[in-house]
Structure 1
Amino acid sequence: MYTDNLSVAKRTIVGVQFLFVAFGATVLVPLLIGINPATALFTAGLGTFLFHIITKGKVPIFLGSSFAFIAPIMAATKQWGLPGTLAGLTSVSLVYFAMSALVKWQGRKLLDRIFPPVVVGPVIILIGLSLSGSAVNMAKDCWVLAFVSLLTAVGVLTFCKGMMKLVPIISGVIVGYIVAVCMGKVDFSGVASASWIACPVTFDTLKHFEWSPFLYMIPVAIAPVIEHIGDVYAVGAVAQKDFVKEPGLHRTMLGDGVACLTSAVLGGPPETTYSEVTGAMSITKITSPAVIRVSAATAICFSIVGKLSALLQSIPQAVLGGIMLLLFGTIASVGVQNLIQRKVNMSDTRNVIIVSIMLTMGLGGAVLSSGSFAVSGIGLSAIIGVILNLILPKEKSEEHDEATK
């Protein structure tokens, strides 16, 4: 029996607990791309509040750092630097705004036509596999620490139950960090010199704006937009409410877009809906949006503690690398699962062509450039997939199935 009737004390306790479910993933993204994790915590909290305002406070969703942009941010940073890349992330919000308008105008069927499972699946696979090299490079800095973190996360996923099963990332990081301290591989000088209270954001990101990274990030946003739709349906199923109808999918997309824009302006990573928190709601039977707002407020409070940020930045690369060995492989497997669950017929020549070309171009390093502009990797593969899906002829049986949906 799901309930929204909670005392203030219980609401606060559960809200803080929900933040810890999302905490590991939220701070891992900034640690991997080289920005202050406090910034990600602050923008996650602020973005969640903005989302709740736009969705009339009805949808129990927490927004956190998106893994979909790790590889593109790393690649873009090599070309335009981190400040220019972060400024370019403002384009992500435009994709959400455009999709919000399309859903409001045409409904979800248009999105299903442009981004069917045969396109979305390979995009998700590429998000995971494109970072496999980075995971190995970070892990080999100290394989002992990497395997300690990896085995801990695997153990939590395999043997733990209840809320504990939802925090494999943070469990692996904590155990790996403790072992690293015992091995003398942690430098605490940054923690000692850090102030207790610090401003987690900067306000000069847009000074570094360039059109090239701005355009580069647009196609990458396709995957998180599709993920957003799935998460809204999942949250609705858990809460036993139709959020697609009220407040509407167009409002949830608009809220996510505003959160992404705000985060980019403040120097943070793009925001996305967190299915980890949805899982926590399913276990606790608590689906109150007010609880999620407690999580958001807690994230903001944590973000201004300077010593906490310094402590997070002292985590050895090998510990994070061990977690990545599991994490990015898991993301790739979700893409495979998407193809299977959505019953994509891989004996159909048309589908084989789309998936094959997308994977080959995405992993092979294909680049499409014109002057100073270039698009490659996941973004280029997504564009190619959309085009192929629209122009390649479908079998009559497939057209009939789509018409009857």
Structure 2
Amino acid sequence: MPLWSLHGNGRTVEPGKVVAPGERLNWPATIAIGAQHVIAMFGATFLVPVLTGFPVSTTLLFSGIGTILFLLITRNKLPSYLGSSFAFIAPVTAATASAGMGSALAGIVAVGVLLAAVGFIVQFAGLGWIDRLMPPVVAGAIVALIGFNLAPVAWTNFQQQPTTATITLAAVVLFSVLFRGFLGRISIFLGVIVGYAAALIFQEVDFTAVAEAAWLGFPEFHIADFGKPGTWSAIAMFLPVVLVLIAENVGHVRGVATMTDPSANEHTGRALIADGAATTLAGFFGGSGTTTYGENIGVMAATRVYSTAAYWVAGIVAILLAMSPKIGAIFNSIPPGVLGGVTTALYGLIGIIGIKIWVDNRVDFSRPVNQYTGAVALVIAIAGFTMQWGDFQLGAIVVGSAAALLIYHLGNAIARWRRTGADDGGPIPAVGPLGGDPVG
């Protein structure tokens, strides 16, 4: 029995239909769509290692391997590309600066293992406990604080080459506003190209490493180091990323289920296990942590092709691209001004995604417990709060995430206790600081 049945005539998508995960168009069309998925993921996937100092070729390699691993673990029933997750940028940057790349990789491995463990639990127990642990107000706060915590990094790069950075930022914004569909979804990639061209004109690009790099060769591997001093403090900074990856994977599966077959939701646990396995493998050998990609979801929505065959093509192409050190050197030559411009938009967008979770779920900010859940977490992240005991340090992301979880759950526990009238037989009215309703 073939892995994929042929959809219709194999050349076009029938009116009102979609190409299901177990179907495919003819191979030329499938290869073309797979190549389009590579283009869609490329801008974001290469940007993460460039920003964190990881080898680009290694990240591409494990992105491709991770995608194929995802398809195998989900039994070829969930179409997805696993690209570099932006949620790792902040903890990787902090961990690399304080304890080195080996410790940062250990943090990525820890996230992967924990995510896979959550996947096994979801596979047997369902998703209800995640919804209770991380309701929209908490999920939005954690996603938002990861983006806003990176604001000083963007400014550091921006001010080194402000003219190039401004051109890059303007290009990203213009492309996203002017274009719809596929071009709009790759506006960050297009902005990098425009910024790089400006940097070439201003003679800000150093091609020395590009000239010395070979056209063909294996990527550069690094090994996760769990024994280095400071590693366990670094790992703590990564743990909130698990919550982001859960939200991204669950959202991806639900999106596919809506467009194809509701039974796809049954594979949510496997999706989490697969992403966890891919992230663990990447972390052990020098790649960035992975996640499902919104860019590729957009390609599926535009083409109505949800065939997993296209993702096998995309994964194989990514692996082949990783075998060229010269390609990696070209991306590593991107100057600070371009990075500063693009990350000003990118980090802000990560924050806005968190706020969008609040809006989409109609979070009631007239409730003080919701107000403080978001407010305290964001200020901790933006200001860079830390907590330290001897050599063990918790960074702003983990402190802010812990604050969001603690404030929400403790606040609601108190509200429930007050509603029982445990103090004097009845609840005490309270007015929120922004003129809202009583707590609870």
Task: Answer whether TM exceeds 0.5 for this pair.
Answer: yes
Q: Secondary structure, in 3 states, of the residue corresponding to 1:89?
A: helix
Q: Secondary structure, in 3 states, of the residue corresponding to 1:272?
A: strand
After superposition, give the CA deviation of every residue in 1:269-298 in whole Å (9 maximum; x if it has no partner).
110110110011101111111101111111
Q: Judging changes above 3 Å, is the alpha-carbon distance between structure 1 residues 154 and 275 closer, same or farther for their aligned structure 2 residues?
A: same
Q: Give, in angstroms, the shift of residue 6 of structure 1.
A: 0.9
The aligned residue for residue 361 of structure 2 is: 342
Q: For 1:121, which of 140, 160, 168 is the aligned residue? A: 140
C-alpha distance in 2, partners of 1:313/1:237?
Answer: 39
The aligned residue for residue 211 of structure 2 is: 192
Q: Secondary structure, in 3 states, of the residue corresponding to 1:218?
A: helix
The aligned residue for residue 220 of structure 1 is: 241
1:222 maps to amino acid: L
The aligned residue for residue 403 of structure 2 is: 384
Q: Secondary structure, in 3 states, of the residue corresponding to 1:200?
A: coil
C-alpha distance in 1, partners of 2:396/2:253?
Answer: 27
TM-score (norm 2): 0.86
The aligned residue for residue 37 of structure 1 is: 56
Q: Secondary structure, in 3 states, of the residue corresponding to 1:243?
A: helix
Unaligned runs of 5+ in 1: 400-405
CA contact (8 A) 1:219 1:380 kept: no
Q: Judging changes above 3 Å, is the alpha-carbon distance between structure 1 residues 364 and 136 closer, same or farther for their aligned structure 2 residues?
A: closer
CA contact (8 A) 2:120 2:270 kept: no
Q: Give, in angstroms, the shift of residue 51 of structure 1.
A: 0.8
Unaligned runs of 5+ in 2: 1-16, 420-440
Equivalences for residues 149-160 of structure 1 within 5 A: 149-160=168-179
Q: Give, in angstroms, the shift of residue 213 of structure 1.
A: 2.2
Q: Give, in angstroms, the shift of residue 241 of structure 1.
A: 4.3
CA contact (8 A) 1:354 1:389 kept: yes
CA contact (8 A) 2:236 2:398 kept: no
Identity of matched residues, %: 31
C-alpha distance in 2, partners of 1:109/1:204?
Answer: 36
Q: Give, in angstroms, the shift of residue 208 of structure 1.
A: 5.8
C-alpha distance in 2, partners of 1:165/1:239?
Answer: 24
1:276 maps to amino acid: E
C-alpha distance in 1, partners of 2:223/2:133?
Answer: 36
C-alpha distance in 2, partners of 1:243/1:338?
Answer: 22
Larger Rg: 2
Equivalences for residues 40-55 of structure 1 within 5 A: 40-55=59-74
The aligned residue for residue 128 of structure 2 is: 109
The answer to whether residue 96 in structure 2 is matched with residue 77 in structure 1 is yes
Q: Give, in angstroms, the shift of residue 374 of structure 1.
A: 1.9
CA contact (8 A) 2:217 2:324 kept: yes
Q: Give, in angstroms, the shift of residue 15 of structure 1.
A: 0.5
2:158 maps to amino acid: A
C-alpha distance in 2, partners of 1:338/1:15?
Answer: 30
The aligned residue for residue 360 of structure 1 is: 379
Aligned residues: 395
CA contact (8 A) 2:106 2:224 kept: yes
**Farther off after superposition, 304-313 or 352-361:** 352-361
After superposition, give the CA deviation of every residue in 1:343-395 in whole Å (9 maximum; x if it has no partner).
11100112112222222322233223333322221122212222333222366
C-alpha distance in 1, partners of 2:219/2:325?
Answer: 8
C-alpha distance in 1, partners of 2:408/2:116?
Answer: 23
Q: Give, in angstroms, the shift of residue 17 of structure 1.
A: 1.1
Q: For 1:147, which of 160, 163, 166 is the aligned residue? A: 166
Q: Judging changes above 3 Å, is the alpha-carbon distance between structure 1 residues 114 and 56 closer, same or farther for their aligned structure 2 residues?
A: same
Q: Secondary structure, in 3 states, of the residue corresponding to 1:64?
A: strand
C-alpha distance in 2, partners of 1:347/1:162?
Answer: 36
Q: Secondary structure, in 3 states, of the residue corresponding to 2:237?
A: helix
**Farther off after superposition, 220-229 or 322-331:** 220-229
Q: Give, in angstroms, the shift of residue 64 of structure 1.
A: 0.7
Equivalences for residues 296-315 of structure 1 within 5 A: 296-315=315-334
C-alpha distance in 1, partners of 2:200/2:222?
Answer: 35
CA contact (8 A) 1:87 1:267 kept: no
Q: Give, in angstroms, the shift of residue 237 of structure 1.
A: 2.2
CA contact (8 A) 2:105 2:223 kept: no
The answer to whether residue 18 in structure 2 is matched with residue 2 in structure 1 is yes
Q: For 2:312, which of 293, 299, 306 is the aligned residue? A: 293
Q: Give, in angstroms, the shift of residue 235 of structure 1.
A: 2.5
Aligned-CA RMSD value: 1.8
